[in-house]
Amino acid sequence: MSASPTNSTGKYSVFAIAREALRLHSGWKRAWTSPEPKKKYKVVIVGAGGHGLATAYYLGKNFGITDIAIIEKGWLGGGNTGRNTTIIRSNYLQDPSAAIYDKALKLYEGLSQDLNYNVMFSPRGLLMLAQTEHEIRGYKRTVYANQLQDVATEWVTPHQIKEMLPIINIDGPRYPVLGGLYQARGGTARHDAVAWGYARACSAMGMDIIQNCEVTGVETENGQVRAVNTGKGRIECDKLAMIVAGHSSVLAEMAGFRLPIESLALQALVSEPIKPCCDLVIMANTVHGYLSQSDKGEMVIGGGTDGFNNYSQRGSWHHVEETVRALVETFPMLSRLKMLRQWGGIVDMTGDRSPILSTTPVGGIFVNCGWGTGGFKAIPGSGWAMAELVANGRPGALAAEFGLNRFKEGRFIDESVAAGVAH
pLDDT tens for the chain, 423 residues long, are 333 333 445 788 888 889 989 898 888 888 898 899 999 999 999 999 999 999 999 999 999 999 999 999 999 999 899 989 999 999 999 999 999 999 999 999 999 999 999 999 999 999 999 999 999 999 999 999 999 999 999 999 999 999 999 999 999 878 899 999 999 999 999 999 999 999 999 999 999 999 999 999 999 999 999 999 999 999 999 999 999 999 999 999 999 999 999 999 888 899 999 999 999 999 998 877 889 999 999 999 988 787 788 888 777 777 778 888 888 889 999 999 999 998 888 999 999 999 999 999 999 999 999 999 889 999 999 999 999 999 999 999 999 999 999 999 999 998 876 654 444
How far apart CA 413 and CA 409 sit, in angstroms, is: 12
How far apart CA 382 and CA 99 sit, in angstroms, is: 11
pLDDT score, position 187? 97
Burial 205-231 (b: 16+ CB within 10 A, else e): eebbbbbebebeebbbeeeebebbebe
How far apart CA 56 and CA 84 sit, in angstroms, is: 21
Q: What is the DSSP letter of 270?
A: E
CB 78 within 8 A of CB 402: no
pLDDT score, position 261? 94
pLDDT score, position 308? 80
How far apart CA 191 and CA 196 sit, in angstroms, is: 9
Q: Identity (one letter) of the amino acid at 376?
A: F
- The two beta strands, 233-242 and 365-369, are parallel
pLDDT score, position 7? 42
pLDDT score, position 6? 39
Q: Which domains does the chain have, with CATH numbers?
A: 34-109+190-260+355-409 (3.50.50.60), 126-186+263-350 (3.30.9.10)
pLDDT score, position 159? 97
| Cα Rg of the chain, angstroms | 21
How far apart CA 123 and CA 139 sit, in angstroms, is: 21
- The two beta strands, 68-71 and 208-210, are parallel
pLDDT score, position 420? 47
Burial 30-39 (b: 16+ CB within 10 A, else e): ebbbeeebee
How far apart CA 371 and CA 20 sit, in angstroms, is: 41
pLDDT score, position 9? 52
Q: What is the Cα 53 distance to its own chain's centre? A: 12
The residues near 409 (Cβ < 8 Å, ≥ 6 apart) are: none
Q: What is the DSSP letter of 30?
A: B
How far apart CA 383 and CA 369 sit, in angstroms, is: 12
DSSP for 294-351, please give it. Answer: -TTS-EEEEEEE-SS-----S--HHHHHHHHHHHHHH-GGGGGPPEEEEEEEEEEEET
pLDDT score, position 321? 82
